[in-house]
Structure 1
Amino acid sequence: MNRLQRLHPCPTRPSSIEQVLGGSAIADAQGAPDWPEQTLHMTGFDAPWREAWGVAGDIDAGQHGDVLWRANQEVMFALVELEEPSGSTAKGAGEALRALTERAYGQLFDLMATQGTPHLWRVWNYLPDINAEADGLERYRWFNLGRHQAYDARGTAVAQHAPAASALGSAGGPLSIACLAGRHPPRAIENPRQVSAYHYPDQYGPRPPVFARAVLAGDMGQPTLFVSGTASIVGHETVHAGDVLAQCAETARNLNAVFAEASHAGGGHHYLAHQAEHRVYVRHSNDVAAVRAFLTDALQGAPLALVQADVCRQDLLVEVESVANPAR
């Protein structure tokens, strides 16, 4: 296949050979690109940045319902953004978020089937007030319920089709879901230090999250490693509540475990956390300097992009997602 490439930083109109499928940008990034772009309604702590995913050769583009998409014959980027009909904590807002999430994922799944890219590789989910309560349940749990119901409606076995994914709280904006999907299935990677997310017990909500800890996807001769949002969780429980540096250390241990598992599964390829690029979500802005210093050391100077965001559990203070090519 035409190799998928991460373009970062990315100008609004790349002059290289890549055709851009889609991407994301922090809210204060300048210019409007010619492709679907997921806006992160978050405070960034580095220069305004934009990233995108590109391939060589011709691509098609279109809209399916609420979903904007661009694709070649092997991989598709899709973006759906839906405004909630009422305030995030108003009466009925929880059920509204559940229905909106099911609608968004349902449209994505229908598009993937018609485009011949039926396999989710990577998903980025953002929603305002992720930890707030609505109708007696945390909004993240309403989101998980709607996502799971979209899988159920299509008879999709979650454990066999879980992508790499992240879900973070934004400072406003719509429910925003972007994804990369492919013609060929990814290879899921789990972390032996953690319970698979789709097997979490019901103390985390009526339906569990849907994601693998990482996936290997794309050109399987040289696959890209997509690492899901990774935090200070051992088994299924948060550890080091209230201690941001201890959470950073545990997160780094989990990242290294995932990279090691990916290397074992990588068909002779090895993946190293210090050769990856990382997006770091920090709950409290006054922790940014300490988090940056710790992770710069722990990840041996790997590129970091830090933003302020609410993590999906209230007791988690930091989360890291990563993308890596085979080690050089």
Structure 2
Amino acid sequence: MYRELHYKYITVSPQSFEEMLNQLLTELTCTYTPIRLVFFATISSNKHYNECLALIQEKVRNMFGSQAPVISLVAQNTLNKVGLAVEVHEMEILSNESLQYKQQNNTPYIMLQDDSTKRLFLGGVISKDLYQPIAKQSEEVFDTIRTIMEAESMPIYSIVRQWNYIEKITEYNQGRQNYQAFNDARSVYYDQSTWEHGFPAATGIGTQWGGVMIDLNATLAYNDQTHITAIDNPLQVAAHAYSQTQLLGKADERLSHKTTPKFERAKQVLQGGNGVLYVSGTAAIRGELSLEQVGIEEQTRITIENINVLTGNQPLAVIRVYLKNTGELEGARSIIEQLYPNLPAIYLQADVCREELLIEIEGISIVTH
């Protein structure tokens, strides 16, 4: 049976971090079962990141006890006069479903299962040492994910949505670009599986701090009532089919070449014709080339055109807007509010995976027929 998903944002104005967190959690009321909380905040260092994350974990644990949603902290500057924000994922749990709150190596996760489908919600997977090179952190994070998925008998190919947060994504370490180092580690992990229904939908976005951090949803269906489909955009080359010219920096010494970003433009999970469409991080790319030097307004329009191709103009439930430059907020927001009136959105300052891209947008669409 189709499980209805609900998404929303709660934001508070700038104060001290603890004051903002207290206010935000006071305003956090859930109609359904909260599955995931993604916090966005301006962070000043990795030491500050660890302190803020520990405070969030403590207060969320005090609030929810043993039934806490999975949580993550994204070190991105919140824009639009917001000091701290949280993206809330809720789900209607049916009477025939088993909901379990579990841990593996101090990493919490949630399992939801019935006779036909098994779902994994995993969040905030980070390295124990945020000062290691991105390549090393990436391997450690994927090792954690592998351990949990193997413990739950969830194959790698069951990942349907992955959020990849990479500190200083476009910077280089000994000739290797951080994003490319992450992509190579992801490729090594993904190569252990077959992907008959396409790779996950995904976002690969920069953060100021926090090293490498991954959130993911996985779905494993036991019957033919659940359909998981990769959605392509004919206006764009699939990211996993990019040529070597789009991949920057040196290759991993263990690999013969630089590997491509392994994700689909969107991924759809349907049960009986209803479900969810995950729109990957989307930018102003046509073919495999960025639209350069056209300005923020035109890049925003092209990005939304790409999203509408993926959704078939199906309404979006929420979007995240990542902006490279804070000074371009109004230019982007005016276009977004014109094309997506009254759509819940959060605006964040973050480096996009290509230096020339000014904006990236991701979204979630609830599909009903």
Assess same fold via TM > 0.5: yes
2:104 corresponding residue in structure 1: 64
2:296 aligned to which of 235, 244, 249: 244
CA 1:203–1:5 in structure 2 vs 1: closer, same or farther (change >3 Å)?
same
CA distance in 2, matches of 1:296, 1:85: 37
CA contact (8 A) 1:66 1:107 kept: no
Q: Distance in 2 between matches of 1:39 and 1:4?
A: 25
- C-alpha change, 1:324 and 1:38, in structure 2 (3 Å) is same
Where do 1:299-318 residues align within 5 Å? Answer: 299-318=340-359
> Structure 1 residue 230: deviation in Å?
0.4
- In the superposition, the TM-score normalised over structure 2's length comes to 0.76
Tell me the equivalent position of 1:225: 277
Aligned match of 1:213: 265
Report the Cα offset of residue 276 of structure 1. Answer: 3.5
Pair 116,284 (structure 1): closer, same or farther in 2 beyond 3 Å: same
Q: Which residue of 1 aligns with 2:88?
A: 52
Q: Does 1:188 align with 2:224?
A: no
Is 1:276 matched with 2:317? yes
Q: CA–CA distance in 2 between the matches of 1:223 and 1:298?
A: 24
Instruction: State the partner residue of 1:104.
Output: 141
Contact 2:198–2:229 (8 Å) recurs in 1: no
Return 292-301 or 99-108, whichever deviates more.
Answer: 99-108
Report the residue type matching 1:229 in the other structure: G
Q: Is 1:240–1:246's contact at 8 Å kept on the other side of the alignment?
A: no
CA distance in 1, matches of 2:322, 2:106: 27
Q: Is 1:39 matched with 2:73?
A: yes
Give the one of 165, 171, 184 matched to 1:132. Answer: 171
Pick which of 97-106 and 141-150 moved more. Answer: 97-106
Aligned CA-pair RMSD? 2.5
Count, aligned residues: 306
1:81 equivalent among 105, 109, 126: 126
Q: What is the identity, as a one-letter code, of the residue corresponding to 2:72?
A: Q
Amino acid at match of 2:189: A
Indicate the SS of the match to 2:120. strand
Name the aligned partner's letter for residue 229 of structure 2. Answer: R
By how many angstroms is 1:83 displaced? 4.6
**Structure 1: which 5+ runs fail to align?**
88-92, 261-270
Residue identity matched to 1:7: Y
Report SS of the residue matched to 2:240: helix
- In the alignment, the residues of structure 2 paired with residue 327 and residue 4 of structure 1 have an alpha-carbon distance, to the nearest angstrom, of 10
Alpha-carbon spacing, 1:239–1:66, altered in 2? closer, same or farther (3 Å): farther
Q: Is 1:20 aligned to residue 62 of structure 2? A: no
TM-score (norm 1): 0.84
Q: CA separation in 2, counterparts of 1:103 and 1:70?
A: 21
Once residues 195 and 244 of structure 2 are traced to their aligned partners in structure 1, the CA distance between those partners, rounded to angstroms, is 16
Distance 1:176 1:243, change over 3 A: same
**Cα deviation 1:11-67 (Å, max 9, x = unaligned):** 746453x22222311127996323221111111124433223333155212222363
Matched residues in 2 for 1:6 and 1:160: separation? 25
Give, in whole Å, the separation in 2 of the partners of 1:190 and 1:40: 28
**CA spacing shift, 1:53–1:300, aligned 2, 3 Å:** closer
Secondary structure in 2 matching 1:148: helix
Amino acid paired to 1:212: E
Unaligned runs of 5+ residues in structure 2 are: 11-23, 43-51, 61-67, 222-226, 248-257
**How do 1:105-184 and structure 2 match up within 5 A?**
105-118=142-155, 119-152=158-191, 154=192, 156-157=193-194, 160-184=197-221
Aligned position for 2:254: none
**More displaced stretch, 280-289 vs 48-57:** 48-57
Q: Deviations over 1:160-218 (max 9, x none)?
A: 44111001111112311000111236211010001111111112330000111001115
Shift of 1:245: 1.4
Quote the offset at 1:7 in angstroms.
3.5
Hey, what does 2:65 align to over in structure 1?
none
Q: Is the 8 A contact 1:182 1:218 kept in 2?
A: no
